[in-house]
Each structure stands twice: as C-alpha cells, then as structure tokens.
C-alpha cells in the first residue's frame, strides 16, 4: 500500500491498480492551488464543505469515481466501507461528518474527517483497532491533546496526523512522546510491517 498526502485532509491511497481518494479538495477551497489531481476508483468525502468534497479533483477523463459521501455500509469491488455519522462545527456552522472504516487488501483504515469534538461512545463502534488511523491535529478542529487522546483510545498500529500546522504538530508529537517521529513524502508498507507497530506516529508531508 502507498499513501501520499496532498494537504488539508486529502490523501491518495493506492493498492496495486486500486486508487482511493480521501477528502479531496474542491476548486472552491482556499487550498485549491495545492491540489494534486488524479483519477480514483473511489472518492470518500466526510463533510459537504469545499475543503473536503472535491470529487471533481479525482475525476480523470472517463474515470468517474464511486462517490461515497455519508453514513452507511458500502461495498465496491470487494472493498468494504462503513460510514458513521457524527457532527462537527466548521466556520461556526454545524455539518454532518462521516467517519469511515474500510479494509483494503487486509489493511484496515480509519479516517475521522474534520472532527471538532470526540465522537460519542455509540459513534465509535466499528472504529476500534485499525491498522492505520488518520486523525485531525489542528486547534480549530481537535486540539493536539484531544487528538492524541482520541487516537490512542482507538488502539491503532499507525497514526497519521492531518490538517496540521507546525505548532499543532509539534504539540501533538510532544503529547505522544514521539518528537522524532519519521517524516516522509509517501508511506509504503505491507500488512506484516504494520503488525509490529503500536500507535506509532508517521508524518506525511506535502512539500
């Protein structure tokens, strides 16, 4: 599996010929100038907000992705996806935010989206013990302390911070006791490499 970060909460996840886009950035977003466009099989959008709903960014020629934009259970070419609805507040406006859990080639991903508060107990069901957890680390969303507390409570093998700035990331790493966490422009790994890890923070950069 190869994971690359395109800024904000926009990730490309590739396993063989299968490409997924997580929270692609739309043309209306303030992050538009940083968009990397590519075609994908599936596009997951957690929140109907320009920073997270740019399905057109991952539509390439005749390749129109299967668009998943809300709570429910989905199956696309033997990829099983569960969307769990919660609420978040962005720009002083309340939105529905969908947290996703999915399994791709035996690797389980949990993608929380732009949470501004910890999910309720009932909303967390189905999210526990993922191989890879994507968590927002941003004082306008979850502050670094709350983000780390939530992340470790879900018992992931790998934690990938997203939507961070230098200050929030530094505070998050200090909270995790992993100030020397590895930074990379892409993460390439296999299932067997994940099994030996326990809440290890890996920082993907967009430079």
Within a 10 A sphere around the Cβ of 8, how many other Cβ atoms? Answer: 24
How many separate domains does the chain show? 1
Q: Which domain holds residue 134?
A: 2-204
Q: What pTM was computed for the model?
A: 0.95
With residue 74 as reference, give the H or E element that holds it.
strand 72-76
Q: Find out whether 157 and 198 touch, Cβ atoms under 8 Å.
A: yes
CA distance 128 to 150: 11
What CATH number is attached to the domain comprising 195?
3.60.15.10
Residue 103: pLDDT over 70: yes
What pLDDT is recorded for position 175? 96
Residue 64: pLDDT over 80: yes
Give the pLDDT confidence of 119-178 residue by residue, as tens digits: 998 898 889 899 999 999 998 999 999 999 999 999 999 999 999 999 999 999 999 999
140 burial via Cβ count (<10 Å: 0-12, 13-18, 19+): middle
| C-alpha distance across the termini of the chain, in Å | 21
Mean pLDDT computed over 87-114: 95
Q: What's the whole-number average pLDDT of the chain? A: 93
How distant, in Å, are the alpha carbons of 11, 15, 78, 111, 183 from that of 178?
23, 28, 36, 21, 12
The residues near 200 (Cβ < 8 Å, ≥ 6 apart) are 157, 158, 159, 178, 181
Closest CA to 11 of 87, 104, 96, 77: 104
């Amino acid at each position: 599996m190869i994971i690359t970060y395109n800024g904000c909460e926009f990730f490309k996840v590739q396993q063989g010929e299968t490409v997924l886009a997580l929270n692609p950035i739309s043309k209306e977003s303030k992050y538009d100038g940083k968009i990397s466009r590519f075609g994908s099989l599936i596009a997951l959008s957690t929140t109907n907000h320009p920073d997270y709903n740019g399905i057109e960014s991952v539509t390439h020629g005749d390749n129109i992705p299967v668009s998943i934009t809300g709570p429910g259970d989905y199956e696309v070419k033997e990829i099983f996806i569960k969307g769990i609805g919660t609420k978040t507040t962005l720009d002083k406006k309340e939105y529905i935010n969908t947290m996703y859990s999915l399994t791709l080639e035996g690797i389980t991903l949990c993608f929380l989206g732009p949470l501004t508060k910890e999910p309720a107990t009932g909303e967390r069901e189905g999210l526990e013990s993922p191989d890879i957890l994507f968590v927002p680390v941003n004082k306008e969303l979850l502050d670094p302390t709350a983000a780390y507390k939530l992340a470790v409570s879900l018992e992931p093998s790998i934690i990938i911070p997203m939507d961070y700035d230098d200050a929030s990331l530094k505070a998050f790493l200090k909270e995790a006791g992993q100030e020397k966490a590895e930074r990379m422009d892409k993460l390439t790994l296999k299932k067997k490499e994940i099994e030996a890890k326990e809440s290890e923070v890996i920082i993907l950069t967009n430079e």
